[in-house]
Amino acid sequence: MFRVAAPLLIALALGSCGPARNAFAPACPVPGLLKPLAELTRFRAGSQDLRDLIVRARIVDITGKCEPGDDKNTIVAHAQLVVDVTRGPAMEGQTYELPAFIAVTDGGTILDKAQLILPVEFKGNVDSTRVASKEVPMEIPISQQKSAAAYQIIGGFQLTQEEVAAWRRNNPK
């Protein structure tokens, strides 16, 4: 009897997963990275010598999902940064905190921005690691004329003016 009932129960359980019939997941904003803000190379103060490199990090992906908001005119995007990090010879200890942000933009206008600290831990003699930030919820207005796909979610590091200037020197157009 159990052999006959088990497949039926499994089919019923799986059939109840996911959105309702004829309902689709909401569109999500397009993820994007701004080149100067997607890379962080941090040295000891006043130095650009590789012996003084503390940490080098690069955002490799922005992941997430969207769900309906509290009303029909919003969706909530849950975004997360994925970062590759390499420890430099000047780094002291096994941990470092990366200053980062996730923002929703409409054209060139920032609608919502969340600043976060991304903790990184290097285990043992490992000099490189990949970390993911916590999920950040971002509420996005939508309408019949404008879906969430019309917006963009960007991520980056909070860089100092000196770090932006050094990136521009090392990456001429």
Q: How confident is the model at residue 24 (pLDDT cuts 50, 70, 90)?
A: low
What pLDDT, in 10s, does the model give residues 63-115? 989 999 888 899 999 999 999 999 999 999 999 999 999 999 998 899 999 99
Residue 73 DSSP class: T
Q: Nearest CA to 26 among 59, 85, 63, 67?
A: 67
7 occurs within a structural domain: no
14 occurs within a structural domain: no
| Cβ–Cβ < 8 Å for 36, 167 | yes
Q: How confident is the model at residue 23 (pLDDT cuts 50, 70, 90)?
A: low
17 occurs within a structural domain: no
CATH number at residue 158: 2.60.40
**Residue 4 confidence (pLDDT):** 45
Q: Can you tell me whether residue 98 is helix, strand or coil?
A: strand
104 occurs within a structural domain: yes
What is the pTM for the complete model shown? Answer: 0.79
**Which structural domain range is residue 30 located in?**
24-170
63 occurs within a structural domain: yes
Q: How many domains does the chain have?
A: 1
What pLDDT, in 10s, does the model give residues 25-65? 678 888 988 888 999 999 998 888 899 999 999 999 999 89
Q: Can you tell me whether residue 113 is helix, strand or coil?
A: strand
**Residue 30 confidence (pLDDT):** 87
96 occurs within a structural domain: yes
What pLDDT, in 10s, does the model give residues 136-152? 999 999 988 998 999 99
Residue 119 has pLDDT above 50, yes or no: yes
16 occurs within a structural domain: no
Tell me the chain's radius of gyration from C-alpha atoms.
21
**Residue 11 confidence (pLDDT):** 41
10 occurs within a structural domain: no
Q: How confident is the model at residue 1 (pLDDT cuts 50, 70, 90)?
A: very low
